[in-house]
Amino acid sequence: MRRVFLVLCPCLALIGLALWSPAPALAAPGERLEYDLRFSGVQDCGTFLDNWTSFYHIVETDELDANGNLLRAFKHVEHHEIDVNSVTGFTIYLHGAFHAVDDYVAGTFTATGNREVATVKGTGVVVQDTGKEVTSMQTGELLFFAGGRKHSRDVQGDQIFCDALS
């Protein structure tokens, strides 16, 4: 579930910033924001730890109503991640580029595109989250998913990263 939060955390953080900081909330319609986010963590894989760091570069355009309230945030996201096996040092590199929409009216987060892909020499694709997903902003529940299922975190959970590093 950590990757769900990595996708949602930027959105939830921006909600908080929009409510707390007057600058984004008062942005003119069509204003372009550009920023970077970084998250790190550790996942217990039983016999080793997955030490991971995710990097996001986001270009955002906000849609406001006549009163200046944020309705939707349209984002182009570039994602890079490094996962390292704590015992062997084996490392996988994930990357992706996708479009995201934070729809505050509908209460949903939609991501479309290549959210993350990793390949290993001699093995091929070990992680692949591509397609479209719609998630509830309030509960984090996956409401809709269409895309690859064989190597998907959305389908197989975080164990897929442990398997890729084994």
Q: Band of the pLDDT at 103, cuts 50, 70, 90? A: very high
The answer to whether 51 and 84 are in contact (CB under 8 A) is yes
23 or 55, higher pLDDT: 55
Give which of 164, 163, 153 is closest to 5, Cα–Cα.
Answer: 153
The pLDDT of 105-116, averaged and rounded, is 94
* Average pLDDT of the residues of the chain: 83
What is the pLDDT averaged over residues 42-58?
96
Tokens of 46: 């039983």
Closest to 4 in 3D by CA, of 136, 131, 95 = 136
When pLDDT is cut at 50, 70 and 90, the band that residue 157 belongs to is: confident
Supply the pLDDT for residue 29: 61
**For residues 85 and 29, which has the higher predicted lDDT (pLDDT)?**
85
Burial of 33 (0-12, 13-18, 19+ CB in 10 A): middle
Mean pLDDT in residue range 130-149 = 89
Tokens linked to 116: 């993350």
Average confidence (pLDDT) over 10-14: 49
Q: What percent of the chain has pLDDT over 90?
A: 54
Say what the pLDDT of residue 129 is: 84
Nearest to 19 by CA among 136, 139, 104, 110: 104
Written in H, E and C, the secondary structure of the chain is CHHHHHHHHHHHHHHHHHHHCHHHHCCCCCCEEEEEEEEEEEEECCCCEEEEEEEEEEEEEEEECCCCCEEEEEEEEEEEEEEEECCCCCEEEEEEEEEEEEECCCCEEEEEEEEEEEEECCCEEEEEEEEEEEEECCCCCEEEEEECCCCCHHHHCCHHHHHHHC
Q: Give the pLDDT band (50/70/90) at residue 149.
A: low
> Average pLDDT of 10-35?
56
In percent, how much of the chain has pLDDT > 70? 77
Pairing of strands 124-136, 142-147: antiparallel
Are 36 and 58 in contact by the 8 Å Cβ rule? The answer is yes
Measured over the CA atoms of residue 155, residue 158, residue 159 and residue 165, the dihedral's sign is positive
